[in-house]
Amino acid sequence: MRKTVLHTFPVWKICSAMRNLLMLLFIAFIFQPSFGQTRNEYTMVKASSNQSQKAIRAFNNGAYPRAINIFEKLAKKNKLNNEEKGLMAIAFFRINQPVKAAEIFSNIGEEFIPGRFLYSYARVLQELGQYRSADRIMLRYNKEFPTDSRAQEQVNTFEFVKNTTSTNRYSITPVIFNSAYADFSPLIQNGIMYFTSDRPLGSAIKRKTARNHQPYLNIFRAVPRGDGFSSPQLFLNQFKTIFHDGPLCFNTTGTEIFLTRNKFHSVLKQEGSDNYNRLKIVHSTRTPEGNWTEPQELSFNEPGSSSGHPWLTYDNNRLYFASDRPGGYGKSDIWYVNRSKDGWETPVNAGPEINTEGNEMFPYISSTGDFYFASDGHMGMGGLDLFIARNIEGKYLIKNMGYPINSEKDDFSIFINPDEKTGFFASNRPGGEGHDDIYSFSILKPISFEQEKTAQKDTLPDHYKIKVIDQKSQVPVPGVIVGFLNSEGRYLGEATSDQEGFLLLNSSLKGSITAMAAVEYYYPYEETIELENTEDSYFMMLRPMPAYGIYGQITRSDNGSPIPGVKISVANLSNETKTYTSDQEGKFRIRLAPYSSFKIEFTKDGFNAIQTDYSTINKENGYINLNQTEDLKMKPDD
């Protein structure tokens, strides 16, 4: 293993529909066409041919797949200049293909990349975890464009990520109702989960008309059931149009809705002289009979600009939102508008402490008044990061929310439960069900705004600290038994990683040592570490094997209702058995070892057991729905 600092992460592939939409709504699917285009630093790229002009026009319109298609055809004929190649790289980046974007930038040659493209190249490298290279490129950009505050914030991500990942502040878990599509902007109102998603509705029209080739968004709801939630259902046809609908928020009593929606006149006619269908915030109230009024556009929406991501404060008198309207500091800013007895007042920019030259969005105010938002302009780990701001003596103090809520990918749309200890957020990090997934979290170590004293190092000065981490997900891997050999091959002993993935080595060890580990679901690990300084941090990056597994739902044979608490025993050929339990909806998701055969038994008191065989031999990696091959309907005992 190369001796390096903790945060130099490897390249891994991401997949998220949000980036197409960004930077969502910019980052979700909504705002890409609308937000971020009014201040486009690439509009001055000169075309080398008529076809290239078409590609550039498509790029500036947010139609990135079309732009890529034209650029690639021209590239095969060697008919692109470096600026056009740079645009093609950025187009790939904006449809969540940073590996392809990095490849194109690399082929141009670092010294030949036009200066204005360097910022995007550095951001690509950040999302791939190549922080040292990103810092080098960002420093070059900063020298050419010294007034760009984004670059000033991002010139030292290597040290920032190293320090951030050394503290595990949260435990996070994906919610069970995530889909293969984009799910984000979760919130709880009267105990019910509401969120935004582009999951299928069976509407061919709505799923084929998005400018960026992504489906349109709708609002879904999931009612609480046991320790989780029921299967999500569309939230009222009244709040569904043929374009984007969501995200939304409620007032504290649940009698008002503020909804992000595309403004349009008809199916065929879009609003705006530039052919953009802008985002607006609409408002609906619940009548005494329990019905919702027809949503009405709010007066402060700005013609020619987009406004969305509304969040109403707990006193119901101030609405925060994201917008690319004139008068901001960057591509998308956070604004607020006060409500008086006479109606909505003039919107106010949240100010330069919050907003940067980049994108700020998804504002959220907790019950204690803390201000949360997502940004790619403040110092972060890559993509969008989540931040918390607290107003102290009239000035906002802003802090990155830390690891593992934030990652090298896009992390956004947070919601905090009233207990201020748990909540939900969305991310497009690897390992999820789909493009963007919703995660629940619990706070292990809260962010402190008190004056921090010089912290003692969390390890003894006479020890080396090594962190064992999953190469793809950045998640610490606890319980790994690591053996060590010296440079002469003599066995030195072993150590086991703790819950945060750390293990300690005595400082009496010097020079080269070899670390070895064999962990389930990971390839065998053997690397050489050069031990030099106990103040340095080192890491072992375990490469995960392809994931194999099964999922499904267990139901009653007589009425089809789900059966919670079913014991699921999975035994391999060596008769080693692992036990799992179905959730409140009778659902389960189990990871299995590759190239293996298993006997699986489903048991619960009062029902006949189900037994079946399953094998991962000669199967493609991924999770298989066992309901498609096995009858998982349990028959009640006679």
At 215 the pLDDT is 67
Continuous segment of H or E residues that includes residue 68 = helix 64-76
Res 3 pLDDT > 70:
no
SS3 content of the chain, % helix, strand, coil (to 5): 15, 35, 50
Half-sphere exposure of 16 (CA within 13 A, CB side): 36
Q: What is the pLDDT of residues 302-352, one digit of tens each?
A: 988 899 999 999 999 999 999 999 999 888 999 999 999 999 999 999 999
The dihedral over CA atoms of 194, 196, 198, 203, expressed in degrees to the nearest 10, equals 60
Question: What burial class does residue 53 get, using C-beta atoms within 10 Å of its C-beta: 0-12 exposed, 13-18 middle, 19+ buried?
Answer: middle
Q: What is the pLDDT of residues 371-406, one digit of tens each?
A: 999 999 899 998 899 999 998 888 889 999 999 999
Check: CB of residue 554 under 8 Å from CB of residue 588: yes
Q: What is the pLDDT of residues 82-95, one digit of tens each?
A: 999 999 999 999 88
Q: pLDDT band at 10, cuts 50/70/90?
A: very low
User: What residue ranges define each of the domains in the chain, with the CATH number in brackets?
Assistant: 17-164 (1.25.40.10), 238-443 (2.120.10.30), 463-542 (2.60.40.10), 548-634 (2.60.40.1120)
pTM of the complete model beyond 0.75: no
Residue ranges of E strands in 56-131: none
Q: What is the pLDDT of residues 467-507, one digit of tens each?
A: 888 877 677 888 888 888 888 888 888 888 887 788 888 77
Res 71 pLDDT > 60:
yes
At 209 the pLDDT is 46
Q: Give 404 or 539, the one with higher predicted confidence.
A: 404
Check: CB of residue 362 under 8 Å from CB of residue 309: yes
Check: CB of residue 598 under 8 Å from CB of residue 570: yes
At 405 the pLDDT is 97
Q: Residue 315: how many CB atoms within 10 A of its CB?
A: 11
The residue whose two tokens read 């299995």 is 592
At 204 the pLDDT is 45
Half-sphere exposure of 418 (CA within 13 A, CB side): 6
Res 273 pLDDT > 60:
no
Spatial CA neighbour of 275 closest among 88, 24, 60 = 60
334 vs 321: CA distance, rounded Å: 6
Spell out a b/e string for 27-40, using b for 16 or more CB atoms within 10 Å of the CB, else e.
Answer: bbbbbbbbbbbbee
At 263 the pLDDT is 62
471 vs 552: CA distance, rounded Å: 28
The residue whose two tokens read 């890529």 is 68
64 vs 629: CA distance, rounded Å: 39
Bridge partners for 260 per DSSP: 281
Q: What is the pLDDT of residues 37-53, one digit of tens each?
A: 334 556 678 888 999 99
At 554 the pLDDT is 95
Q: Give 566 or 595, the one with higher predicted confidence.
A: 566
Check: CB of residue 478 under 8 Å from CB of residue 519: no
Amino acid letter at 218?
N
The proportion of the chain whose per-residue pLDDT surpasses 70, expressed as a percent, equals 86
Record the tokens describing residue 403, joined without a space.
């690891």
* Segments in 341-386 forming alpha helices (H): none
100 vs 91: CA distance, rounded Å: 10
Res 534 pLDDT > 80:
no
Phi, psi of 76 (to 5 degrees): -65, -25
201 vs 208: CA distance, rounded Å: 12
Question: What burial class does residue 51 get, using C-beta atoms within 10 Å of its C-beta: 0-12 exposed, 13-18 middle, 19+ buried?
Answer: middle
Look up residue 132 and give its DSSP letter.
H
Res 635 pLDDT > 70:
yes
505 vs 507: CA distance, rounded Å: 6
